Chains A and B, each alone.
Chain A
């Protein structure tokens, strides 16, 4: 949980804050009609962050970091016979090595995503208020406007599904590694590619099921 969760905090902190800021600046810069109220920037930023950025985009980034980490760790253990050593001792290596990673990521990922939401909205707020693009009161009103609990449920259902996909797909790729160091690299790449593909498919399915 430490290596896949806590170690990701600096990455999440930087990406979320800066991306949140960029989302709001782009929205504010593109809304120049006087008919559209200023608070729309806050509202649209919040929806973008909760619906897609902190859930899907962040999970895609974590698929790269955590997925390759899990696959290369398990792959290295496989080719250096550490997995065989566990089997010889009578330990079910798959459940001993993979289950804690899946459970750990399922537990930590919602916290990472929640933190990302907070940081992104903070970055968003700071960027448009400090530059004077949107007044403080308008942004705060927009952030609170038409808020539905269901949106958070939707976000966290996706988060849990993505956590399961990233950890299980990457574990499978790593655990099924055979050969040498080159194959560990291949497994690591495969983990990222297959995780991203599965994650995007799941995103489409969950969105269709929960929002249509």
Chain B
């Protein structure tokens, strides 16, 4: 059963150099994401990945089309949607001088919830950092903490915006393990990425965007079968001389 249903989603922005004209950053995207899957959105910079996520998260107005998460209309009831989603943004700075423990308590309070911060921190492998400040975390730890913050409301859908950008290989694999764990527990995960390995090994299905449009959507295997260039049937051999000879014959000319 799809948990996210998007039809003809569109977002219009004024052109940077000519404010009176506009262009579509997201141009009529339709998606259907199943409950319990890890769904990846791929695309070059400026393809509209983040804008698409922001519209689903209620951060950005929807200029056209519809989006439903768990049956709730995102445009009509953004606050209801926010109750059931968890979001990790690209920027992950927090208040100065506040410990991870306190930040988690704050985020829980924003959802009017009490939360077991110990449990959450151990889930993202940061148990020993409860009293640390975010400034003192490494890149990978910061990303894991962002995910912990996104989990305070036990969301049905978790949105991750380029979660592994800038991480070293160890931190990257560590984060993938965390995402798989959360997914195994039943959470639907939607992520954007530039990392092809991430898309291929982590995501069950992938959508590829470019210029605001969806240009392909399927499982990684099917996409490879359908779109990867055919391997050449036989390796090239010979050279232009062979061609010349083949065309003009071997017979000696006088």
Is chain B a partner of chain A in the same complex?
no
Tell me the B residues contacting A by CB distance below 8 Å.
none
